[in-house]
Amino acid sequence: MSEKELIEIKSLQINLNEENSTELMAETLAELKNKGYESVTIEIRTSTEEELKKSGLDIEVFKKIKYVQNIPDWVVINLMLAAGKLRNTKFKLRLIHE
């Protein structure tokens, strides 16, 4: 089954700081199973602000890149997280010699 064939049955907002968060998720999955569902896809999402804070990324740099490039938030975040990771990997030499 492809992503395009999936339909949303239920959406669940969970605060991981609340003690009953795992119970709420278990109850929801049990409810779906009782209704006859055999398989579900669980998608984990967060807000852009929370991801920026968690990753320690500069919010102003994020806003500038997003404004200039006009690309989705997740692309900007991935770009910022990847910045500089190839600097000391000899990537250019491997690319030329392979």
pLDDT of 57-91, one tens digit each?
889 999 999 999 999 999 999 888 887 676 677 76
DSSP 53: H
- CA 57 vs CA 73, 83, 84, 86: distances in Å: 13, 11, 14, 18
What per-residue confidence (pLDDT) applies to 94? 66
pLDDT band at 29 (very low <50, low <70, confident <90, very high): very high
pTM for the full model? Answer: 0.57
What per-residue confidence (pLDDT) applies to 37? 94
CA distance 38 to 32: 8
Place of tokens 């804070």: 53
Query: Residue 25 corresponds to which tokens in the numbers above?
Result: 């998720």
